[in-house]
Amino acid sequence: CHRAYCPNPTCTPSRSSMITGLYPSDHGAWSLGTKLMEDVPTVGDALGRAGYRTSLVGKAHFQPLQETDRYRSLESYPILQDLDFWRQFNEPFYGFDTVRLARNHADEAHVGQHYAIWMEDNGCHNWRDYYRPPTGTNDRQKHRWEIPEKYHYNAWIAEESQRLLDTYAAGDEPFFMWSSFFDPHPPYLAPDPWHAMYDPADLTLPQIVEGEHDVNPLHFRMTQEKEPDFSAWRESGFGIHGMHSHLHGADEMRQNMAVYYGMISLMD
Protein backbone atom coordinates (compact mmCIF):
# COMPACT_ATOMS: atom_id res chain seq x y z
CA CYS A 1 0.00 0.00 0.00
CA HIS A 2 1.03 3.62 -0.40
CA ARG A 3 2.13 5.46 2.72
CA ALA A 4 2.71 9.14 3.38
CA TYR A 5 4.98 10.39 6.14
CA CYS A 6 5.02 13.94 7.49
CA PRO A 7 8.63 15.15 7.15
CA ASN A 8 8.39 17.75 9.93
CA PRO A 9 5.84 18.58 12.67
CA THR A 10 5.79 22.35 12.04
CA CYS A 11 4.29 24.48 9.30
CA THR A 12 6.99 25.97 7.09
CA PRO A 13 9.21 22.87 6.75
CA SER A 14 6.31 20.47 6.19
CA ARG A 15 4.39 22.69 3.79
CA SER A 16 7.55 23.40 1.81
CA SER A 17 8.11 19.65 1.51
CA MET A 18 4.55 19.21 0.26
CA ILE A 19 5.09 21.52 -2.71
CA THR A 20 8.71 20.54 -3.48
CA GLY A 21 8.84 16.81 -2.74
CA LEU A 22 12.04 17.42 -0.78
CA TYR A 23 13.07 16.92 2.82
CA PRO A 24 13.64 20.12 4.83
CA SER A 25 17.36 19.35 4.80
CA ASP A 26 17.22 19.62 0.99
CA HIS A 27 14.81 22.52 0.38
CA GLY A 28 16.36 24.61 3.18
CA ALA A 29 13.26 25.81 5.06
CA TRP A 30 14.14 23.73 8.10
CA SER A 31 12.17 25.57 10.81
CA LEU A 32 9.57 28.21 11.54
CA GLY A 33 11.06 31.61 10.79
CA THR A 34 12.95 30.34 7.74
CA LYS A 35 12.13 30.86 4.07
CA LEU A 36 11.62 28.53 1.14
CA MET A 37 13.73 30.18 -1.53
CA GLU A 38 11.88 31.08 -4.70
CA ASP A 39 14.32 29.21 -6.95
CA VAL A 40 13.44 25.80 -5.45
CA PRO A 41 11.24 23.94 -8.01
CA THR A 42 7.66 23.31 -6.85
CA VAL A 43 4.67 21.29 -8.00
CA GLY A 44 3.13 24.54 -9.22
CA ASP A 45 6.13 25.17 -11.46
CA ALA A 46 5.95 21.66 -12.92
CA LEU A 47 2.22 21.76 -13.58
CA GLY A 48 2.41 25.27 -15.00
CA ARG A 49 4.95 24.07 -17.57
CA ALA A 50 2.56 21.24 -18.43
CA GLY A 51 -0.20 23.70 -19.26
CA TYR A 52 -2.13 23.69 -15.98
CA ARG A 53 -3.70 26.73 -14.39
CA THR A 54 -2.57 26.79 -10.78
CA SER A 55 -3.90 28.46 -7.64
CA LEU A 56 -3.47 28.54 -3.88
CA VAL A 57 -6.23 29.77 -1.57
CA GLY A 58 -5.65 30.18 2.17
CA LYS A 59 -2.51 29.50 4.14
CA ALA A 60 0.90 29.53 2.47
CA HIS A 61 3.46 30.01 5.29
CA PHE A 62 6.47 29.52 3.04
CA GLN A 63 8.07 32.73 4.32
CA PRO A 64 8.70 34.26 7.77
CA LEU A 65 6.87 37.04 9.58
CA GLN A 66 10.12 38.99 9.82
CA GLU A 67 12.27 39.61 6.77
CA THR A 68 15.91 40.63 6.46
CA ASP A 69 17.86 42.41 3.75
CA ARG A 70 19.01 39.01 2.51
CA TYR A 71 15.74 37.12 2.91
CA ARG A 72 12.75 39.16 1.76
CA SER A 73 9.27 37.97 2.71
CA LEU A 74 5.82 38.74 1.32
CA GLU A 75 4.38 37.21 4.48
CA SER A 76 6.13 39.64 6.83
CA TYR A 77 5.23 42.87 8.56
CA PRO A 78 4.34 45.53 7.48
CA ILE A 79 3.46 44.31 3.96
CA LEU A 80 1.33 41.53 5.48
CA GLN A 81 -1.26 44.15 6.43
CA ASP A 82 -0.84 46.56 3.52
CA LEU A 83 -4.27 45.92 2.03
CA ASP A 84 -3.69 48.32 -0.88
CA PHE A 85 -0.68 46.21 -1.86
CA TRP A 86 -2.68 42.98 -1.74
CA ARG A 87 -5.56 44.45 -3.74
CA GLN A 88 -3.08 45.02 -6.57
CA PHE A 89 -1.01 41.85 -6.12
CA ASN A 90 -1.27 39.66 -9.21
CA GLU A 91 2.03 37.79 -9.40
CA PRO A 92 2.95 34.10 -9.33
CA PHE A 93 3.89 32.76 -5.90
CA TYR A 94 5.93 29.55 -5.77
CA GLY A 95 4.50 28.38 -9.07
CA PHE A 96 0.88 29.24 -8.26
CA ASP A 97 -0.26 31.77 -10.83
CA THR A 98 -3.27 32.84 -8.73
CA VAL A 99 -3.07 33.22 -4.95
CA ARG A 100 -5.46 34.39 -2.25
CA LEU A 101 -3.57 34.45 1.03
CA ALA A 102 -3.99 34.80 4.78
CA ARG A 103 -1.62 34.14 7.66
CA ASN A 104 -3.51 34.23 10.98
CA HIS A 105 -4.76 31.28 13.02
CA ALA A 106 -8.07 32.14 14.71
CA ASP A 107 -7.76 35.54 16.43
CA GLU A 108 -4.01 36.01 15.96
CA ALA A 109 -2.82 39.53 15.22
CA HIS A 110 -1.26 38.33 11.93
CA VAL A 111 -4.58 38.84 10.12
CA GLY A 112 -4.28 40.69 6.82
CA GLN A 113 -3.64 39.98 3.12
CA HIS A 114 -6.58 38.89 0.95
CA TYR A 115 -8.64 37.62 3.87
CA ALA A 116 -8.89 41.04 5.53
CA ILE A 117 -9.82 42.56 2.17
CA TRP A 118 -12.60 39.99 1.77
CA MET A 119 -14.00 40.80 5.20
CA GLU A 120 -14.09 44.50 4.40
CA ASP A 121 -15.62 43.93 0.97
CA ASN A 122 -18.34 41.77 2.54
CA GLY A 123 -19.41 44.34 5.10
CA CYS A 124 -17.28 43.37 8.10
CA HIS A 125 -15.73 46.80 8.53
CA ASN A 126 -15.17 46.18 12.25
CA TRP A 127 -13.10 43.02 11.69
CA ARG A 128 -10.41 44.28 14.07
CA ASP A 129 -12.88 43.76 16.93
CA TYR A 130 -12.37 40.00 16.57
CA TYR A 131 -8.57 39.93 16.68
CA ARG A 132 -5.84 40.39 19.23
CA PRO A 133 -3.75 43.54 19.61
CA PRO A 134 -1.82 45.21 18.17
CA THR A 135 -3.77 44.60 14.94
CA GLY A 136 -7.09 44.12 16.67
CA THR A 137 -8.75 45.30 19.85
CA ASN A 138 -9.92 42.05 21.49
CA ASP A 139 -7.65 40.05 23.78
CA ARG A 140 -10.41 38.50 25.90
CA GLN A 141 -11.51 35.55 23.76
CA LYS A 142 -11.00 31.98 24.92
CA HIS A 143 -12.57 28.94 23.24
CA ARG A 144 -15.55 30.96 21.93
CA TRP A 145 -14.55 33.21 19.03
CA GLU A 146 -16.91 36.16 18.74
CA ILE A 147 -16.54 36.48 14.96
CA PRO A 148 -19.73 35.61 13.01
CA GLU A 149 -19.37 32.33 11.15
CA LYS A 150 -19.99 34.03 7.80
CA TYR A 151 -16.75 36.01 8.26
CA HIS A 152 -14.65 33.05 9.41
CA TYR A 153 -11.67 32.29 7.17
CA ASN A 154 -13.18 28.88 6.41
CA ALA A 155 -16.07 30.68 4.70
CA TRP A 156 -13.60 32.85 2.78
CA ILE A 157 -11.49 29.89 1.61
CA ALA A 158 -14.59 27.95 0.54
CA GLU A 159 -16.04 30.94 -1.32
CA GLU A 160 -12.80 31.80 -3.11
CA SER A 161 -12.20 28.15 -4.01
CA GLN A 162 -15.70 27.81 -5.45
CA ARG A 163 -15.25 30.99 -7.46
CA LEU A 164 -12.04 29.64 -8.98
CA LEU A 165 -13.64 26.26 -9.68
CA ASP A 166 -16.42 28.01 -11.57
CA THR A 167 -13.81 29.91 -13.58
CA TYR A 168 -11.91 26.74 -14.41
CA ALA A 169 -15.13 24.92 -15.34
CA ALA A 170 -15.87 27.61 -17.91
CA GLY A 171 -12.60 26.88 -19.71
CA ASP A 172 -10.99 23.78 -21.16
CA GLU A 173 -7.55 23.93 -19.54
CA PRO A 174 -6.50 21.50 -16.80
CA PHE A 175 -6.07 23.06 -13.37
CA PHE A 176 -4.50 22.43 -9.99
CA MET A 177 -5.87 24.23 -6.93
CA TRP A 178 -4.76 23.96 -3.31
CA SER A 179 -7.54 25.01 -0.92
CA SER A 180 -5.34 25.45 2.12
CA PHE A 181 -7.48 25.50 5.26
CA PHE A 182 -5.87 26.62 8.53
CA ASP A 183 -7.70 24.57 11.13
CA PRO A 184 -7.42 22.78 13.43
CA HIS A 185 -4.58 24.79 14.94
CA PRO A 186 -4.00 26.70 18.17
CA PRO A 187 -5.35 28.97 19.53
CA TYR A 188 -8.41 26.83 20.08
CA LEU A 189 -11.27 29.15 19.13
CA ALA A 190 -14.46 28.58 17.18
CA PRO A 191 -17.59 30.71 16.64
CA ASP A 192 -21.12 29.75 17.65
CA PRO A 193 -22.30 27.02 17.64
CA TRP A 194 -19.13 25.10 16.89
CA HIS A 195 -17.16 25.90 20.05
CA ALA A 196 -19.82 24.16 22.17
CA MET A 197 -20.67 21.29 19.82
CA TYR A 198 -18.73 18.70 21.85
CA ASP A 199 -18.98 18.10 25.59
CA PRO A 200 -15.55 18.10 27.27
CA ALA A 201 -16.86 15.62 29.86
CA ASP A 202 -17.29 13.01 27.13
CA LEU A 203 -13.64 13.13 26.06
CA THR A 204 -10.88 10.80 27.21
CA LEU A 205 -7.46 12.31 27.77
CA PRO A 206 -4.33 10.49 26.58
CA GLN A 207 -2.21 9.29 29.46
CA ILE A 208 1.37 10.34 30.02
CA VAL A 209 3.51 7.42 31.15
CA GLU A 210 6.49 8.32 33.30
CA GLY A 211 9.69 7.40 31.52
CA GLU A 212 8.02 6.91 28.13
CA HIS A 213 10.70 9.04 26.46
CA ASP A 214 13.69 7.47 28.20
CA VAL A 215 14.76 5.69 25.02
CA ASN A 216 14.11 8.73 22.82
CA PRO A 217 16.43 11.65 22.04
CA LEU A 218 17.03 14.16 24.84
CA HIS A 219 14.74 16.84 23.44
CA PHE A 220 11.80 14.42 23.71
CA ARG A 221 12.50 13.78 27.39
CA MET A 222 12.86 17.49 28.06
CA THR A 223 9.27 18.17 26.96
CA GLN A 224 8.13 16.64 30.26
CA GLU A 225 10.34 18.80 32.45
CA LYS A 226 8.81 21.79 34.22
CA GLU A 227 11.56 24.21 33.17
CA PRO A 228 13.42 22.69 30.21
CA ASP A 229 16.34 24.56 28.67
CA PHE A 230 16.18 24.19 24.90
CA SER A 231 18.83 26.80 24.17
CA ALA A 232 21.09 24.15 22.64
CA TRP A 233 18.43 23.47 20.00
CA ARG A 234 17.16 26.98 19.45
CA GLU A 235 19.39 29.99 19.79
CA SER A 236 16.71 32.14 21.39
CA GLY A 237 16.25 29.69 24.27
CA PHE A 238 12.45 29.94 24.12
CA GLY A 239 12.01 26.21 23.56
CA ILE A 240 10.14 24.31 20.89
CA HIS A 241 6.49 23.57 20.11
CA GLY A 242 4.93 21.13 22.54
CA MET A 243 7.50 21.66 25.28
CA HIS A 244 4.88 22.31 27.98
CA SER A 245 1.91 20.39 26.58
CA HIS A 246 1.89 18.00 29.55
CA LEU A 247 1.58 20.81 32.10
CA HIS A 248 -2.00 21.75 31.18
CA GLY A 249 -4.66 20.69 33.66
CA ALA A 250 -7.13 17.94 32.78
CA ASP A 251 -10.12 20.29 32.56
CA GLU A 252 -8.27 22.69 30.26
CA MET A 253 -7.09 19.82 28.08
CA ARG A 254 -10.62 18.48 27.68
CA GLN A 255 -11.97 21.93 26.81
CA ASN A 256 -9.20 22.45 24.25
CA MET A 257 -9.95 19.05 22.71
CA ALA A 258 -13.68 19.81 22.54
CA VAL A 259 -13.06 23.08 20.69
CA TYR A 260 -10.47 21.32 18.50
CA TYR A 261 -13.16 18.90 17.35
CA GLY A 262 -15.52 21.82 16.81
CA MET A 263 -12.95 23.50 14.58
CA ILE A 264 -12.75 20.32 12.50
CA SER A 265 -16.54 20.12 12.19
CA LEU A 266 -16.76 23.75 11.10
CA MET A 267 -14.09 23.17 8.48
CA ASP A 268 -15.91 20.10 7.19
| Last residue within a domain, chosen from 187, 205, 220 | 187
Q: 43 and 14, same structural domain?
A: yes
Q: What are phi and psi of 244, to 5 degrees?
A: -120, 20
Domain of residue 35, CATH code: 3.40.720.10
Whether residues 42 and 115 share a domain: the answer is yes
Per-residue pLDDT band for 231 (boundaries 50, 70, 90) equals confident
Please tell me the pTM assigned to this model. Answer: 0.91
First to last CA, the chain: 27
Same domain, 178 and 204: no
Q: For residues 70 and 93, state if they share a domain.
A: yes
* Residue 106 sits in the same domain as residue 20: yes
Those residues whose C-beta lies under 8 Å from the C-beta of residue 130, and which sit 6 or more positions away, are 107, 136, 138, 141, 145, 146, 147, 151
- Phi, then psi, of 224 in degrees rounded to 5: -105, 10
**pLDDT tens for residues 204-220?**
998 888 888 899 888 88
Single residue among 160, 187, 214 that ends a domain in this structure:
187
Specify whether 42 is located in the same domain as 66: yes
CA distances from 253 to 143, 176, 240, 249 (A): 12, 38, 19, 6
Separation CA 249–CA 188 (nearest Å): 15
pLDDT digits (tens, 9 = 90+) for 46-89: 999 999 999 999 999 999 999 999 999 999 999 999 999 999 99
Nearest to 34 by CA among 25, 43, 42: 25
Domain housing 264 = 193-268
Query: Based on the domain organization, do 175 and 237 belong to the same domain?
Result: no
Residues 81 and 95 in one domain: yes
Same domain, residue pair 97 and 179: yes
Q: Rounded CA gap, 211 and 223, in Å?
A: 12
Please give the residue that has the higher pLDDT: either 250 or 119.
119
Q: Note whether 172 and 82 are same-domain residues.
A: yes
Do 159 and 243 belong to one domain?
no
Q: Which residues contact 131 (CB under 8 A, 6 or more apart)?
A: 104, 107, 108, 109, 111, 137, 138
pLDDT at 142 over 70: yes
Q: Which of 187, 216, 247 delimits the end of a domain?
A: 187
What total number of domains does the chain contain?
2
Residues 12, 68, single domain; the answer is yes
Give 165's pLDDT tier (boundaries 50, 70, 90): very high
